[in-house]
Amino acid sequence: MRGFESILDQKQPIRILTTFLHRRAMPHALLFTGIEGVGKRMTAMVFAMACNCTENITNKKEHDTKIPLQQSPCGCCNTCRRIESERHPDVILIKPVRAVIRIAQIRSLCQTLALKPYEARTRVVIISDAQAMNPEAGNALLKILEEPPAHTILILTATQTTDLLPTVVSRCLHIRFQPISRKSLETFLAKSDALSDEDAVIIASMANGSLSKALSMIKPANLKYWINQRKWLIHDSGLDAPASLSSRPVASLLAFAERLSKNKKNLPDFLEVMKIWLRDLVIWKFNPKLIINKDLTQKIQYASQQIDLESLISKIKAIEVAEKDIRANANTRLALEVMFLRLVTN
Amino acid sequence: MSYLVLARKYRPQTFDEIVMQGHITRTLTNAIRSNRVAHAILFSGPRGTGKTTVARVLAKAMNCKEGPIPVPCNVCRSCMEITTGNAVDVFEIDGASNNSVDQVRELRENVKYMPAHSLYKIYVIDEVHMLSLAAFNALLKTLEEPPSHVMFIFATTELHKIPVTILSRCQHHDFRRIDVESISKYLETICSKESVDIAIESLRLIAHEAGGSMRDALSLLDQVMTCSDGTLSHDQVLELLGVLDRKIIFDLSTAIVSKDTSGMLDMVEEIYASGHDMKKLYQDLIEHFRNLLIVKMGDKIDRLVNLSADEVGSMVEQVKDISEIFLNQVFNILFEEESAIRFAIQPKLALEMILMKVVQIEPALSIDVLIEKLDNLRKEIQGTVDQKKNLKKNSNPIKKKPGLDPPLKDNINVDNTWKKLRNVISEKNPSLAAFLKKCTLTKLTGESLEIEANGNDFNLRMIQRRKNMRIFESICRDFFGKEMHLSIKAKPSKPDERPRKKDKTNDSKQKAIQHPLVADAVEIFNGKVVDIRIL
């Protein structure tokens, strides 16, 4: 079953957490930061399991605070399994509802915490994507975050501390999660049968350090999809030869923009793929070993030689502007068309 | 009792223990001594500077068994209750979650009852800035004239969100940020109490990272202490806190100013891989360039740069060969692009691109240098002109009218001349100039102008009107200084292109049919060509 060892990389955070367990000295508020999909929530879950695992809290250990807790949960006792399936009454998970965590959720949390835990030795509250808290919710959390009732730990996960209220950050013990190294991702992906080694390498590089992204890419329905999508995005947008982009018929690019705009769900990822491709072209000029699309080295080399730095940067800027407009609820198709017109002209 | 973090364990219980807020604690103790404590007090200031703590100590001091005294006894029933947080007469209300007008109304209902066993009924409203406007307004009357047994203490980090009507009814105390020195000293005393051995250098680093907030400092110290076994080296502390070593910032900035792009990218990658916050890195970088700029200007370094002497020394070394203007340029770009990195989905990518831009900067010259150069240039030109004049005077005594001939002679300048001429015309006769705008000057010789009218027929006829021609000629005479012959022609119209296009499509269709591939395909599939379309 799951334990700390099932989490890829993240040696440092796990070391800190196991020391807490070992010394039986838990800070009441933890803040996990790191890019999306590096296992922040999973680590929080495992930590909750470790705090409450029945193996850990036999009667003898319960009362003698000198005895260190076992550092990894058994994963098969009743408590562990209930926590893992999110059915434990004392492990509370708060998630954004429609991208926002509202004050009502925090208020009801405060009410729950005012009561004693049902059965757990250590109640754990996990607030995932804490940056989604609106200011009211964040402020409502402050008092309880500073001095929660006994036997309660709050764990917040967020991508960056700068996205949170400074008053929230200052009340938490901050633990940073690193992006998963490409090598660990590769070995992890290579284990799954459906994936050839080559594809594993490509997906590991496209996931960019995020396990959840990699996993969503290798779902059977998605398998090959992302690899093909990348090919399509780079080739049909004309970015594979950015230097000759201006000689391409504008109509075909506008048609491409239309097709892009139809796939609203994946659009941010699509634009990201295009940006990363352009970024590789820039980086190639200076430091070829840092490129992300390693499997396309030859293409990158060819394309990068064709075009100068300044126009590449202006192209990236064009995509960034489009991203911003789309976030600001501009008409997607119009924004994309403008983007392509900007890409064509230098 | 389960484990308590340091910030809670060592929360000050008397006014004396509070660090760096002397101006407030002194005022309050004096007020208590002379029995002049205001009935509504507002504390504001950055996070972790002691607002809630002072509020609690004040509540204790007012309600202590021995009557309001500056130093609460911390042993009587009231003091103990406040310490443990279950006092009957001290209500600590979370303003952020109880922010509606109903909750304030409920509070007003309860205000009129006497305290249970203490002197005062004290309402501490923390995070008071989150009260709704209606709630604030509902509080106004009570706040102005509360019953004699009631005291209000408000605490907030965001003073600007408090309505002025509330502000004017409260005695306002502003908390200062705590300086690095005081924080590190306080951390030292805590370390000795906890019998943990941490180098003073690391404590200073923690204090610096805390940004003037004692709670931040204590959280960081907590983190360091939990992971240590007795002693900790400075490097371990750095790693634990995830603080960017100053050296990394130094190296990165050196790479930027020396335009070592590849090295710079390597460094960014390395910093990213160790899980650092890119936005934080960016802020550190901006701060570093700001410091460099101040060091370069060399004025009041001690006061403006909050760094140790060695660091200032190495900064002086770093900026030795860099111009102030260049630093300013870098600083400007970093500042302008800050929003780009703040809203970026992938901050690393944004950071790389911004740094690329920075590396692309051409160092500009200072305005002084530019003026000096211009001056030199002018002197040089004047020198040569004078020489030429002298030469000319000697060799060619015939004096020409200056300024009139060059446009005639210089055929390359035809367009320019035309523009100038049109400008002159537009001053005297705007309507004629408008017609001429559509014309081009095709030929310009010493005594004639040949003009081609591009617009429609109307254009040409209007220019050729006698009245207009006369004005045109007279202007030309003034402009060129002599009589000019004007000839105005219509532009030869292009033969219609459409038929040719049709021919072309037919031609390519023919070609397609005759193409061997097509012939093969027809044969293989045993079909026939139905339609040919050109894409």
Distance from CA of B33 to the nearest CA of A (A): 31
Any idea which of A16-25, A168-177, B500-509 has the lowest mean pLDDT?
A: B500-509
Contact at 8 Å (CB) between B261 and B356? yes
* Own/partner long-range contacts of A275-280 (Cβ < 8 Å, ≥24 apart): A275/A316, A275/A319, A275/A320, A275/B346, A275/B349, A276/A208, A276/B349, A277/A233, A277/A234, A277/A239, A278/A239, A278/A242, A278/A312, A278/A315, A278/A316, A278/A319, A279/A316, A279/B349, A279/B352, A279/B353, A280/A304
B420 in any annotated domain: yes
Token pair belonging to A295: 């499997």
Same domain for B526 and B423 = no
Residue A194 within any structural domain of the chain:
no
| CATH code for the domain in which residue A26 is found | 3.40.50.300
Same domain for B258 and B111: no
Are residues B294 and B270 part of one domain?
yes
Q: What is the pLDDT of residue A8?
A: 79
Q: Calculate what percentage of chain B has a pLDDT beyond 90.
A: 25
Q: Does one domain contain both A22 and A124? A: yes
pLDDT value at residue A92: 92
Check which CATH number belongs to the domain holding B65 and give it.
3.40.50.300
What pLDDT does residue B408 have?
46
Whether residue B264 is found in the same domain as residue B137 = no
- B1 domain-assigned: no
What's the pLDDT score for residue B168? 94
- Helix H, strand E, coil C: the string for A24-85 is CCCCCEEEEECCCCCCHHHHHHHHHHHHHCCCCCCHHHHHCCCCCCCCCCCCCCHHHHHHHC
Q: Which of the four pLDDT bands, split at 50, 70 and 90, describes residue B2?
A: low
My answer on whether A247 and A157 are in the same domain is no
Q: What is the pLDDT at residue B401?
A: 44
Question: What gap in Å lies between CA B365 and CA B293, rounded to an integer?
Answer: 16
Whether A172 and A235 map to the same domain: the answer is no
- A13 shares its domain with A137: yes
Q: How far is CA B314 from CA A150, B243, B251, in A?
A: 49, 20, 11
Residue B415 shares a structural domain with residue B523: no
- Split into its structural domains, chain B has a count of 6
Q: Are residues B32 and B145 in the same domain?
A: yes
Comparison of pLDDT for B176 and B476, the residue scoring more: B176
pLDDT band at B32 (very low <50, low <70, confident <90, very high): very high
pLDDT digits (tens, 9 = 90+) for B219-247: 888 888 877 666 677 777 877 776 777 78
Q: How far is CA A198 from CA A16, A224, A227, A294, B89, in A?
A: 36, 11, 11, 11, 70
Inter-CA distances, B246 with A3, A147, B76, B195, B218, Å: 36, 34, 49, 28, 21
Classify burial at B310, counting beta carbons within 10 Å of its beta carbon; exposed 0-12, middle 13-18, buried 19 or more.
exposed
What is the pLDDT at residue B172? 94
Whether chain A has a CB inside 8 Å of the CB on B464: the answer is: no
Nearest by Cα to B276 from A11, A213, A33, A113: A33
Interface check B215 vs A, CB under 8 A? yes
CB contact under 8 A, B94 and A140: yes
Q: Which among B1, B275, B352 is the nearest to A176, CB-wise?
A: B275
Q: What CATH number does the domain containing B211 carry?
A: 1.10.8.60
Q: How far apart are alpha carbons B347 and B285 in whole angstroms?
A: 14
- Tell me which residue in B1, B94, B275 faces A179 most closely, judged by beta carbons: B275
Percent of chain A with pLDDT over 70: 92
The stretch B383-410 carries a mean pLDDT of: 55
Q: What is the mean pLDDT of residues B296-306?
A: 75
Percent of chain B with pLDDT over 70: 91
B12 and B124 housed in the same domain:
yes
What token pair was written down for A344? 């064509």
Lowest mean pLDDT among B40-54, B218-232, B400-414: B400-414
* Tokens 């007279």 found at: B474
A279, A316 Cβ separation under 8 angstroms:
yes
CATH number of the domain at A249, please.
Answer: 1.20.272.10
Note whether residue B417 is domain-resident: yes
Residue ranges of B 26-65 with Cβ closer than 8 A to chain A: 47-48, 52
- pLDDT at res. B133: 93
Residues A228 and A105 in one domain: no
> Are residues A11 and A132 both part of a single domain?
yes
Selected for mutation to probe chain B from A101, A110, A162 (highest B CB count within 10 Å) is: A162
Q: Which residue has the tokens 């947080």?
A: B85
Phi and psi torsions of A178, nearest 5°: -90, 155
pLDDT at B139: 93
In a domain, B76, yes or no: yes
* Bigger pLDDT: B6 vs B342: B6
Within a domain: residue A135?
A: yes
Predicted structure pTM score: 0.70
Model confidence at A201: pLDDT above 60: yes
Residue A202 lies in a domain: no
Q: Do A161 and B356 touch (CB under 8 A)?
A: no
pLDDT digits (tens, 9 = 90+) for B307-360: 777 778 888 888 888 888 888 888 888 888 888 787 777 788 888 888 888 888
pLDDT for residue B162: 93
| A310 interfaces chain B, CB cutoff of 8 Å | yes
Q: Which residues is A157 bridged to in the sheet?
A: A32
Single out the residue of B256, B257, B351, B249 nearest to residue B307, CA to CA.
B249
Q: Indicate the average pLDDT of chain A.
A: 83
> Which of the pair, A89 or B368, is modelled with greater confidence?
A89
* Same domain flag for B252 and B281: yes
Written as six digits, the tokens of A271 are: 């634009």
| Mean pLDDT (whole number) for A281-292 | 83
Question: For chain A, what is the domain count?
Answer: 2
Is residue A118 located within the same domain as residue A239? Answer: no
Is the pLDDT score of B53 beyond 90? yes
If you average pLDDT over each of A59-63, A294-298, A333-337, B453-457, which comes out highest?
A333-337
**What is the complex's ipTM, to 2 decimals?**
0.75
Q: Are residues B355 and B385 in the same domain?
A: no
The confidence band for A181, taking pLDDT boundaries of 50, 70 and 90, is confident
Report residue A63's pLDDT band, with 50, 70 and 90 as the boundaries.
low
Contact A283 B275 (CB under 8 A): no
A201 falls within a domain? no
Cα B276 from Cα B257, distance rounded (Å): 22
Lowest mean pLDDT among A196-205, B193-202, B325-334, B367-376: A196-205
Cβ–Cβ below 8 Å for A173 and B99: no
Is residue A206, in this structure, part of any structural domain at all?
no
Nearest chain B residue to A108, by CA: B97
Of A47-61, A272-286, B393-407, the one with minimum mean pLDDT is B393-407
The answer to the question of residue A181 being in a domain is: no
Chain B residue with the nearest C-alpha to that of A324: B343
Q: Which of B301, B333, B360 is the last residue of a domain?
A: B360
Residue numbers of the domain that contains B375 = 365-399
Whether residue A161 has pLDDT greater than 70: yes
Is there a single domain that holds both residue A270 and residue A146? Answer: no
- By the 8 A CB rule, do A81 and A45 touch? no
Q: Are residues B27 and B165 in the same domain?
A: yes
Given CB atoms, is B230 within the 8 Å cutoff of chain A?
no
The partner residue sitting opposite B227, judged by closest CB among A16, A313, A327, is A16
Spell out which residues of chain A touch residue B350, defining contact as CB-CB under 8 Å.
320
| pLDDT at site B342 | 77
Q: For an interface test with A, give the residue of B156, B356, B358 to mutate (most A CBs within 10 A).
A: B356
B129 — pLDDT class (breaks 50, 70, 90): very high
Confidence of residue B31 (pLDDT cuts 50, 70, 90): very high
A318 occurs within a structural domain: yes
Asked if B226 lies within 8 A of A309 by C-beta distance, the reply is no
Q: Identify the bridge partners of residue A59 per DSSP, sorted by sequence position.
A: none
Q: CB-CB: which of A166, A169, A176 is closest to B242?
A: A176
Contact A23 B226 (CB under 8 A): yes
A160 and A55 belong to one structural domain: yes
DSSP string, B277-318: -HHHHHHHHHHHHHHHHHHHHTSSHHHH--S-HHHHHHHHHH
**Of B129, B213, B353, which has the smallest distance from its Cβ to A313's Cβ?**
B353
A·B CB contacts under 8 A = 144
Q: Share the mean pLDDT of chain B.
A: 82
Which chain A positions have a beta carbon within 8 Å of B51's beta carbon? none
Shortest Cα distance from B244 to chain A (angstroms)? 13
Within 236-265 of B, beta carbons closer than 8 Å to A belong to 239-240, 242, 261-262, 265
Is the domain of B15 the same as that of B139?
Answer: yes
Measured distance CA(A133)–CA(B6) in Å, rounded: 27
Q: Say which residues have a Cβ less than 8 Å from residue B296's Cβ, sequence separation at least 6.
A: B319, B322, B324, B327
A157 and A254 both lie in a single domain: no
Does B160 share its domain with B29?
yes
Residue B216 lies in a domain: yes
Judge whether A195 lies within some domain. no
Same domain, A129 and A47: yes
Predicted pLDDT of residue A1: 46
Calculate mean pLDDT across residues A323-334: 86
Q: Is A294 on the interface with B (CB under 8 A)?
A: no
Tell me, what amino acid is at B371?
I
Over residues B169-180, the pLDDT tens digits come to 999 999 998 988
Nearest CA of chain A to the CA of B64: how many Å? 24
- Mean predicted confidence (pLDDT) in A326-330: 84
CB A46 within 8 A of CB A3: yes
Query: Parallel, antiparallel, or unpaired: how do β-strands A91-94 and A123-127 relate?
Result: parallel
Under a CB-based contact definition with an 8 Å cutoff, are residues B483 and B445 in contact?
Answer: no
pLDDT tens for each residue of B244-254: 777 888 888 88
Q: Quick one: average pLDDT of A71-96?
A: 85
Q: State how far residue A85 is from chain B, nearest Cα, in angstroms.
A: 28
CA nearest to A147 within chain B: B8
Tell me which range, B170-179, B262-271, B307-316, B451-460, is most confidently predicted by mean pLDDT.
Answer: B170-179
Confidence of residue B419 (pLDDT cuts 50, 70, 90): confident
Same domain, A136 and A242: no
| Cα(B215)–Cα(B220) distance, integer angstroms | 9
> Is B533 domain-assigned?
yes
How far is Cα A45 from Cα A91, in angstroms, rounded to an integer? 9
Domain range for A324 is 224-344
